[in-house]
Amino acid sequence: MKIFVMATAVLGAVNALTIMPPMSKTADHIPLAKKAMEYFDNSPDPFHAVQTAIDMLEDAGFEEVQEIEPNSDKIQPGGKYYFTRNKSTLVAFAVGGKYAAGSGGFKVIGGHTDSPNLKVKPRSKRSAKSAKSIQIGAECYGGGLWHTWFDRDLGISGRVFCREADGTISQKLIKIDRAILRIPNLAIHLQTADERKAFAVNKEDHLSPILAGKIEDAFNVGGEKDTTEENDDNEGGKKEKDATAKDGWTEHQEPLLVQLLATELGIESSNIVDFELNLFDIQKAALGGVHSEFLFSARLDNLASCFLAVESLLECIKDGFLENDKDINMVILYDHEEVGSSSAVGAAGPILGDAVKSITSALHNEKSYEATIRKSFVLSSDQSHALHPNYASKHEKNHQPQMNAGMVIKRNSNQRYATNGVTGVLIREIARRASLPPVQEFLVRQDCGCGSTIGPLISTATGIRAIDMGCPQLSMHSIREQMGICDLTNGLALFKAFFKYFREVDDSVQQ
């Protein structure tokens, strides 16, 4: 009997080994996934997403240019440049070595740096003096799945405006990567059955994170009471009053928050004159699945596209293709996509059109702007929906993208996406010529609302042709999202093929 049991166990183990796919199927994709994970972890907000991309660009020899300065002597064929607006939108471009005025166009990959999150309100103070917990005011940005923000360890990031000794105002990036804040759930025992079933979130009342407790009450048990606030006439009270002198801003901020920012930046609290702060989940990106075939992280929508866009441009340049290229290769990463893109630094704004004009002008191509527009193309990259196995009925039955099966073309005949017959053919042909896997297709069910992204806005604002694409993912707009690591490799390969093959494919397709 023992021999039989042992043989059965061995046979079962052998069968299990033959059924389970080998790690080699995903192992080759892990190095790129880990590089992407580092980018995600370093980019908790648009300001850091842009700065992290700048670090990558500068390491590859890109040079910053100023929009407000003439660049005719600086921008040259074969050159690599970048500029930013608001420090939250990035434009990076590399001029082909054989670019000639009137003969080339712009090959653009676009993405967006913002994600749904909670932002600290302009007046951060929320708690009354009598409150037992010190909270800060938080504002919802974009269409987040806000219930996923409960019971998460939250850090703070963004930018702080500081008054320098000479009176100038500087901007400093800040990223406090530890558990500073938390939004606790209400215990099940304190909810009615209907409340448990609905789990309705009141964004104003229920999403204010706790920053601290009234620690003096806990730490001074049996000791003397802290009477600083009660004794404004004494010296300590006078200092406290001076520290929060009314200037229209300081008196409306939570003092503990301002003190925390000052300590992290190594400055005096009085030097802080304003801030733009976001909350973020401090849990790092991680590989998941039995074969590490998945990637779990915050802000995959749309940092995955941002990373792939920058990385593809850098790898193409490293491969030496720029020397013989006749076009201008560009990556543009916008802010404010999650709230409609209607801003000076959003896709509905003038930034891409301004960039095309200023770059063509610097390259002595002022008279052929319209021809340049007609030769240009934008690959708008924003994450796509993968088939959800628990909610398959929510997907159109013939358009069900799978994770780890390649990039997705997004279509909507009502122009929620910019894809049309010609732009779709161009991308599929580029993938075919590069021997890449066939692209997948996404179409929303007709009884569901359809989202949108930057593609239609770019085409409307500039007249440049565009397609909307993305890597498939689950849990979109959750605080923690999921995608396949093979899709990072597929996306990178397609983006590189776009830069390398677009011109010859475009010339071969009847428009």
> Taking 80 as the threshold, does the pLDDT of residue 186 lie above it?
yes
Q: Taking each helix axis from N to C terminus, what angle separates 485-508 and 30-41, rounded to the nearest 10 degrees?
A: 100
pLDDT band at 19 (very low <50, low <70, confident <90, very high): very low
Q: Give me the amino acid identity at 118.
A: L
pLDDT band at 9 (very low <50, low <70, confident <90, very high): very low
> What token pair was written down for 109?
């990959």
> Taking 70 as the threshold, does the pLDDT of residue 94 lie above it?
yes
Contacts for 112 with CB less than 8 Å, ≥ 6 apart = 302, 305, 306, 333, 334, 335, 336, 337, 338, 341, 347, 382, 453, 454
pLDDT band at 215 (very low <50, low <70, confident <90, very high): low
List, for residues 459-494, the tens digit of each pLDDT value.
Answer: 999 999 999 999 999 999 999 999 999 999 999 999
Please tell me the distance from the alpha carbon of residue 386 to that of residue 483, in angstroms, as a whole number.
8
Give the pLDDT confidence score for residue 270 in this predicted structure: 96
Give the pLDDT confidence score for residue 238 in this predicted structure: 47
Report the range of poorest mean pLDDT among 61-70, 277-286, 296-305, 396-405.
61-70
Give the pLDDT confidence score for residue 354 in this predicted structure: 94
In angstroms, the Cα distances linking 1 to 8, 15, 439 are 11, 21, 54
Report the range of poorest mean pLDDT among 66-80, 221-235, 392-406.
221-235
Average pLDDT across the chain, whole number? 90
pLDDT band at 239 (very low <50, low <70, confident <90, very high): very low
Give the pLDDT confidence score for residue 226 in this predicted structure: 47
List, for residues 411-462, the tens digit of each pLDDT value.
Answer: 999 999 999 999 999 999 999 999 999 999 999 999 999 999 999 999 999 9
The bridge status of strand 169-181 relative to strand 328-334 is unpaired
Please tell me the distance from the alpha carbon of residue 268 to that of residue 37, in angstroms, as a whole number.
34
| 3-state class (DSSP) for residue 416 | coil
Residue, of 504 and 69, whose pLDDT is higher: 504
> Taking 60 as the threshold, does the pLDDT of residue 124 lie above it?
yes
> Taking 90 as the threshold, does the pLDDT of residue 366 lie above it?
no
Give the pLDDT confidence score for residue 370 in this predicted structure: 87
Where do we find the tokens 């896997």? 437
List, for residues 20-71, the tens digit of each pLDDT value.
Answer: 443 447 899 999 999 999 999 999 999 999 999 999 999 999 999 998 676 6
pLDDT band at 198 (very low <50, low <70, confident <90, very high): confident
Give mean pLDDT, residues 115-129. 93
pLDDT band at 301 (very low <50, low <70, confident <90, very high): very high
Give mean pLDDT, residues 119-134. 90
Give the pLDDT confidence score for residue 443 in this predicted structure: 97
Give mean pLDDT, residues 211-227. 60
CA angle (324 as vertex; 31, 57 as ends), nearest 5: 40
Give the pLDDT confidence score for residue 10 in this predicted structure: 41
> Taking 60 as the threshold, does the pLDDT of residue 203 lie above it?
yes
Give the pLDDT confidence score for residue 216 in this predicted structure: 57
pLDDT band at 214 (very low <50, low <70, confident <90, very high): confident
Q: Give me the amino acid identity at 59.
A: D
Report the range of poorest mean pLDDT among 226-240, 348-362, 396-410.
226-240
Give mean pLDDT, residues 106-128. 96
pTM value is 0.90
Report the range of poorest mean pLDDT among 155-164, 305-314, 352-361.
352-361
